[in-house]
Amino acid sequence: MKFAGYPNEVIAELDDAQKQAIYNEKLVYSSHTKENNFAFESAANTPQFSTFTTTGNWTRTLVASKVTTPTKGKNEFVLDYNWTWNNNPDFALMDKFGIAWSDDFDAYPESAVYAYRATGYNSVRNETRDYSTGNVPGYKEWNSAAGVGWEYDIKDFFYYNNLSYVVNTHKGWGRIKIGKYSNKSGTTESTSAVGSYFHKYGAFTGTLSFSPAPSVSISYATNYDKFADAGAAPFSWTNYNW
């Protein structure tokens, strides 16, 4: 991936399946953002902050990759949104996350995919084990020219061989390919994207909506904690004059 321009911190964050897709699709690096801070449940019944914690427990990365063999007359990119949350949640319901972008790029629905992995610990065996959804094609919410979103069942614990594993690390990602026809002006433009995450604690289920600002919002917002976004990751493209 280094030959395709990807920085080490991007390579470290991406899942193996994402790396394989980048290789298979002959993508090249365009831009990324990586940020880290704290994310806790506002309605939690147990303390979630330690004065000994010096680094954030919420890390998110948004990567834009350029398609080197696009549809004729189009600029095409792949957006990867990765996140890691280190916490054992009081609320383990159906969380949502999504990606929004600007400039009316159209999404290709067949390219949408997400994955979630929970890492749990069993004190009896002093053993760490993963639960994973695997790669799940499709999406939950959709706006062809502005954004895509997913929903998944976050785990506070899981069972393996009748043993309970308490989850303290959650990792997930979502991926979408977008494209736009050139206006043949020959000008260079810049587009940005954002990744957003919503942790559910209330009874009502919200629906994601997308704005080309870009931004992601949710209905019944008082039933969710919105974690800090993966900030805008500008990427440039040229309106081919042919």
**Is the pTM value of this prediction over 0.85?**
yes
Rounded-to-integer distance, Cα 50 and Cα 25, Å: 43
User: What one-letter code names the amino acid at 233?
Assistant: A
For residue 61, is it within any domain?
Answer: yes
Q: How far is CA 139 from the centre of its chain?
A: 12
Q: How far is CA 162 from the centre of its chain?
A: 31
pLDDT band at 52 (very low <50, low <70, confident <90, very high): very low
Predicted local confidence at residue 238, as pLDDT: 84
- Of 50 and 54, the structure prediction assigns the larger pLDDT to 54
What six digits make up the tokens of 78? 């792949």
pLDDT digits (tens, 9 = 90+) for 178-214: 999 988 888 888 999 999 999 999 999 999 999 999 9
For residue 172, is it within any domain?
Answer: yes
For residue 41, is it within any domain?
Answer: yes
For residue 25, is it within any domain?
Answer: no
Q: For position 82, which CATH number holds?
A: 2.70.240
For residue 147, is it within any domain?
Answer: yes
For residue 166, is it within any domain?
Answer: yes
For residue 1, is it within any domain?
Answer: no
Over residues 59-72, the mean pLDDT reads 93
For residue 15, is it within any domain?
Answer: no
Rounded-to-integer distance, Cα 47 and Cα 192, Å: 36
What six digits make up the tokens of 5? 């321009």
Total tally of structural domains belonging to the chain? 1
What six digits make up the tokens of 189? 């433009």
Rounded-to-integer distance, Cα 129 and Cα 207, Å: 32
Question: To the nearest whole number, what is the mean pLDDT of the chain?
Answer: 92
User: What one-letter code names the amino acid at 121?
Assistant: Y
Which residue range is the domain that position 163 belongs to?
30-238
Q: Residues 6 or more apart from 118 whose CB is under 8 A from it? A: 130, 131, 132, 154, 155, 158, 167, 169, 170, 171
pLDDT digits (tens, 9 = 90+) for 123-162: 999 999 999 999 999 999 999 999 999 999 999 999 999 9
Asked whether residue 239 carries a pLDDT value surpassing 90, the answer given is: no
